[in-house]
Amino acid sequence: MPVSSLIARLPYPSPSVQRALAIAAIIAQGGIGVTGSIVRVTGSGLGCPTWPQCFEGSMFPVEHPEYETLTQWIEFGNRLLTGVVVLVAALCVLAAWRIYVTHPSRKRLLLLAWTMPGGVLAQAVIGGMTVLAGLLWWTVAIHFLASTILVWLAVLLLHAFAEGDEPPRWQVSASGRKLLVALVVALAGVLTAGTTVTGAGPHGGDPDTPRLQAPINVLASVHGALLVVYLVVLALLGLHLSRGSATPRLWRRYGIVWVVALAQGGLGTLQYELGVPEQLVSFHVLGSAVVIVATAALWCAARDRGPSVSFHAAPAKADDTSSTEQRKPTVTRS
């Protein structure tokens, strides 16, 4: 029996289920980055020194004279959380596939859903490379940056569930779109520069991990300067929106970006002035995920792909064409 026939037997996901799954994907993708930072600041990165096993011959932590039990379980717990991410990613694919079976035009939605398990697979490979490389700073940076991309894609997936598949109709002019692109590029620069600060900082995931040999004050200054660039572009975007006819929804998203970006900047400054205490590192990583979510939501609010049509009743079988006219669509818009 074809896979699509099996998928068609699943209940059609309601709009609330679609939204819940996409939000869960955002939380899972952002959360794995936060737990990864906890592994790093507690020096537990090599608590399980092999991959995919924790130790040779064991998937679980074991008594070992060279590795503390607590650090083993912290690293092992982070690996277990990957299972939650896999489950959420699989459910997103099943929901999107079920929708696609009924609405073949929703190919974009299905492709976005597949980026979730695809990203988990890529992260598993990168994570294994990171462990085998002894937590070299640049491998940790790649691991983190991959998570930021997946958080962005999860936000796009959330909006894809609630919007149509028409070509995007931008709510801003061509210059406004250029500012949005510049904002995303600036955000990518901020995040990348942040990984170099982390690479030169005191929290490498293991006491013996080689650090990036560069002045941390210079790297932090570059990181801060790029944040200023991000805020300047955001301000220019606001001026552009004030001259047009931006929707209330777009203005709300714009205001949220300002709040979270300024809060993240303030937290980063406090973190640096206090000597990068462990407690603030994970909050800063969480803040970066929130900024990504807010920026991605702003991007999505700047264009309209038309309404999404969701059928609450179970769709008819392929050979029952007459019942198609009996379905009552509910039109929703994100």
Structure tokens at 129: 């490379």
Residue 206: pLDDT band (50, 70, 90) is: low
Residue 205: pLDDT band (50, 70, 90) is: low
Single out the residue of 113, 22, 15, 17 nearest to residue 332, CA to CA.
15
Single out the residue of 30, 25, 34, 26 nearest to residue 284, CA to CA.
34
Q: Give the integer Cα–Cα distance in Å for 66 and 69.
A: 10
Structure tokens at 315: 């769709």
Structure tokens at 279: 């407690």
pLDDT at residue number 330: 44
Is 324 inside any structural domain? no
Number of domains in the chain: 1
Whether the bond into 15 is cis, omega within 30 of 0: no
Is 204 inside any structural domain? yes
Q: How many CB atoms sit inside 10 A of residue 192's CB? A: 16
Is 157 inside any structural domain? yes
CA 317 to centroid of chain Cα atoms: 36
Q: Give the integer Cα–Cα distance in Å for 48 and 133.
A: 13
pLDDT at residue number 58: 80
pLDDT at residue number 122: 92
Parent domain of 254: 11-312
Single out the residue of 313, 307, 316 nearest to residue 101, CA to CA.
316
Say which residue, 331 or 232, is predicted with more confidence.
232
Residue 136: pLDDT band (50, 70, 90) is: confident
The pLDDT > 70 percentage for the chain reads 88
Is 212 inside any structural domain? yes
According to DSSP H, which parts of the chain are helical? Answer: 3-8, 15-41, 69-102, 107-132, 137-162, 174-200, 216-242, 248-273, 278-301
Is 317 inside any structural domain? no
Is 209 inside any structural domain? yes
pLDDT at residue number 145: 93
Is 22 inside any structural domain? yes
Is 321 inside any structural domain? no
Out of 120-134, 265-279, 285-299, the most confident range is: 285-299
- Residue 329 is inside which H or E element, if any? strand 329-332
Single out the residue of 164, 180, 176, 103 nearest to residue 304, CA to CA.
164
Residue 277 is classified by DSSP as -
Single out the residue of 231, 221, 241 nearest to residue 264, CA to CA.
231
Termini Cα distance of the chain: 36
Say which residue, 140 or 190, is predicted with more confidence.
190
Residue 214: how many CA atoms within 13 Å on its side-chain side? 16
Place of tokens 């200023």: 228
pLDDT at residue number 83: 85
Say which residue, 292 or 53, is predicted with more confidence.
292
